[in-house]
Amino acid sequence: MTVQLPLTRNIHADRRPTDLQAYEQNGGYQALRKAIPGMPPADCLQTVVDSHLRGRGGAGFPTGMKWSFVPMGENASPGHKYLICNADEMEPGAFKDRLLLECDPHQLVEGMILAAYTLQADIAYIFIRPEYLLATERLNQAIADCHRKGYLGKNILGSDFSLDLYVHVSAGRYICGEETALISALEGKRANPRAKPPFPQVSGLWGRPTIVNNVETLCNIPHIIEHGAQWFIGLGVSEDAGTKLYGVSGRVRNPGCWELPMGTPIREILEHRAGGMEDGYALRGLLPGGGSTDFLVPEHLDLPMDYSAIGKAGSRMGTGTIIILDDRTCPVAFVKNLIDFFAQESCGFCTPCRDGLPWSGQVLEDIENGRGRPEDLETLERQVSFIGAIGNTHCALAPGAMEPLQSALHYFREDFEKHIDDGRCPYGEPH
């Protein structure tokens, strides 16, 4: 029997954690035992490349390709190489990594051991947001259990591969999730993003080769190693491979997070999993992958949730956690809430982001409070094209912040105009 929903097979409705014994009874650490000693690192890398796994942190970058930039063998200078798991998960609307971290910590740990083995990294970190206390506790327990079992530490499973794994608890700031800012934070500094190149794969943590991957990305690795690339590709129902954790929050009957084949249509996620809209609410639009993705509208419901289809529709799959805008919530205030978040979380390094985002927030506040002027829409459009342009800022925070605004101006323009014409918000405060 092959597994169809590998990521959540150890995740229970009551969210109790799967401990080492339960994890192993369910086939856990078999992938590690297959790779060590059976598969040399180059074979593991080839398997990940062939699987077409794409990063689940938001950008969808092919994982195997990312890993292939790390200097190996004779090309690697002596010294440490690092693997970092990005468990910062601070994007508004994202709550999928929490599930994996809290409910099946060993799956992530096994994925990290295998990734580190593939890259021949000898030190690994899990960079986790400070509010994820339960996840931190369970990860530390899992790591301690692995040391006792010989899955971590010196000479893993009797091989010459050794790995230390540490949990680093952040001190709270969304920008830490950006991979170069994360590296600065791990080095104990202010989390300012760094210019690329050099890319972290070559010069990252303390100037050494470093790979940063999302929690969900790494959780896929044991299954890919155990069952192979073709099996993984076969799990998807559209162009992209594997399964995906999809989430829905907002005014639906059953908000939550589910593992489904990659490419499951949005409608199926909303109607079959999330139970459709709450009584008395209708769907206005949705952000498909967290607070930094462009709105989609009901006409997009039959699109498959994958990187290419959502991209072609003008948005991004991002984290795959959908935020619902219902017909009783003001789209202007919705976008203002997001812009305020991004403005507050800006690291302040670049002017368009540091000064531009608060300005957009102010314009939106004026419109929302009935003080908007007709020319404000033009101002917002100009901000979208300037702040949103890739290359005008040092990292993707500012362009991401502009995505919901830009698409709201497109799809919900009449709402903005009505605020300005009537001199007030036609919606009440949410309740």
Ligand X SMILES: Cc1cc2nc3c(=O)[nH]c(=O)nc-3n(C[C@H](O)[C@H](O)[C@H](O)COP(=O)(O)O)c2cc1C
Contact footprint for ligand X (CB under 6 A): 55-59, 61, 66, 86, 88-91, 174-175, 177-179, 212-214, 217, 395-397
CA distance 222 to 39: 13
Distance of CA 339 to the CA centre of its chain: 19
Binding of residue 395 to ligand SF4 (CB under 6 A)? yes
**CB 254 → another protein: shortest distance, Å?**
9
Output phi, psi for 31, to 5 deg.
-65, -40
**CB 233 → ligand X: shortest distance, Å?**
18
Residue 349 binds which of another protein, ligand X, ligand SF4, none (CB < 5-8 A, kind-dependent): ligand SF4
Q: Judged by CB, which is closer to ligand X: 103, or 219?
A: 219
Binding mask 186-205 for another protein (x = CB under 8 A): -xxxxx--------------
Residue 212 binds which of ligand SF4, another protein, ligand X, none (CB < 5-8 A, kind-dependent): ligand X
Binding of residue 94 to ligand SF4 (CB under 6 A)? no
CA distance 244 to 92: 19
- 10-69 positions binding another protein, by CB under 8 A: none
CA distance 373 to 14: 51
From candidates 63, 86, 201, 321, binder to another protein by CB under 8 A: 321
200 and 212 Cβ atoms separated by less than 8 Å: yes
* Interface stretch with another protein, choices 149-157, 223-231, 251-259, 382-390 (CB under 8 A): 251-259
Residue 388 binds which of ligand SF4, ligand X, another protein, none (CB < 5-8 A, kind-dependent): none
From candidates 47, 321, 393, 407, binder to ligand SF4 by CB under 6 A: 393
Beta-bridge partner residues of 357: none
Q: Judged by CB, which is closer to ligand SF4: 106, or 194?
A: 194
Reference 397, options 183, 93, 181, 175; nearest CA is: 175
Q: Judged by CB, which is closer to another protein: 34, or 168?
A: 168
Binding of residue 385 to another protein (CB under 8 A)? no
- 169-188 positions binding ligand SF4, by CB under 6 A: 175
Binding of residue 208 to ligand SF4 (CB under 6 A)? no
Neighbours of 243 (CB within 10 A): 25
Distances (CA, A) of 326 to 75, 93, 207, 313, 410: 54, 15, 47, 20, 17
**CB 90 → ligand X: shortest distance, Å?**
5
Neighbours of 402 (CB within 10 A): 25
Distances (CA, A) of 244 to 50, 199, 269, 345: 18, 27, 11, 27
286 and 324 Cβ atoms separated by less than 8 Å: yes
Reference 285, options 245, 238, 251, 254; nearest CA is: 251
**CB 377 → ligand X: shortest distance, Å?**
27
Reference 115, options 198, 216, 22; nearest CA is: 216
178 and 193 Cβ atoms separated by less than 8 Å: yes
Q: Judged by CB, which is closer to ligand X: 90, or 367?
A: 90
Where is 84: in which H helix or E strand? strand 82-87
Binding of residue 291 to ligand SF4 (CB under 6 A)? no
Binding of residue 80 to ligand SF4 (CB under 6 A)? no
Reference 96, options 258, 263, 310; nearest CA is: 258
- 214-243 positions binding another protein, by CB under 8 A: none
Q: Judged by CB, which is closer to another protein: 66, or 129?
A: 129
Beta-bridge partner residues of 287: 323
Q: Judged by CB, which is closer to ligand SF4: 193, or 304?
A: 193
| Residues near ligand SF4, by CB under 6 A | 175, 193, 346-350, 353-354, 393-395, 397-398
